[in-house]
Amino acid sequence: MVSTVDSAKTSLSYLTAHAATLQARSSSPNQNLLPLSAQVSETDHLVVGGCDVPELIERFGSPLYILDEATLRAACQQYREAMAHHYPGEALVIYASKAWNCLAVCAVVHSEGLGVDVVSAGELLTAIKAGVPAEHLYFHGNNKSLDELQQGIDSGCRIVVDNWLELESLSQLLAGAESAVPILLRLTPGIECHTHEYIRTGHLDSKFGFDPDQIEAVFQYVARQPQLRCIGLQAHIGSQIFELQPHADLAGVMVRWFQKAAEYGLPVTELDIGGGLGICYTEADDPPSIENWVKTVAEAVAEACELQGVPLPRLIAEPGRSLIGSACVTAYTVGSQKTVPGIRTYVAVDGGMSDNPRPITYQSVYRALVANRMSAPLTEKTTLAGKHCESGDVVIQEADLPALTANDVIVVAGTGAYNYSMASNYNRVPRPAAILVNAGDAHLIIQRETLQDLMRHDCLPASLAPAS
Q: Which active-site residues does the annotation give?
A: 389
Whole-angstrom distance, CA of residue 121 vs CA of residue 147? 8
Cβ neighbours, 10 Å, residue 92: 19
Whole-angstrom distance, CA of residue 325 vs CA of residue 459? 37
Q: Where are the beta strands (DSSP E) in 53-157?
A: 64-68, 91-96, 115-118, 137-139
Cβ neighbours, 10 Å, residue 464: 7
CA-wise closest residue to 67 among 320, 447, 443: 443
CA 112, chain centre distance (Å): 17
Given its phi and psi angles, is residue 455 left (phi above 0), alpha (psi -120 to 50 degrees) or beta?
Answer: alpha
Cβ neighbours, 10 Å, residue 362: 16
Q: Please name the amino acid found at residue 99.
A: A
Whole-angstrom distance, CA of residue 287 vs CA of residue 29? 11
Q: Which residues of 170-209 are buried (b: 16+ CB within 10 A; e: fewer)?
A: bbeebeeeeeebbbbbbbbbbbebebeeeebbbbeebebb
Whole-angstrom distance, CA of residue 205 vs CA of residue 76? 32
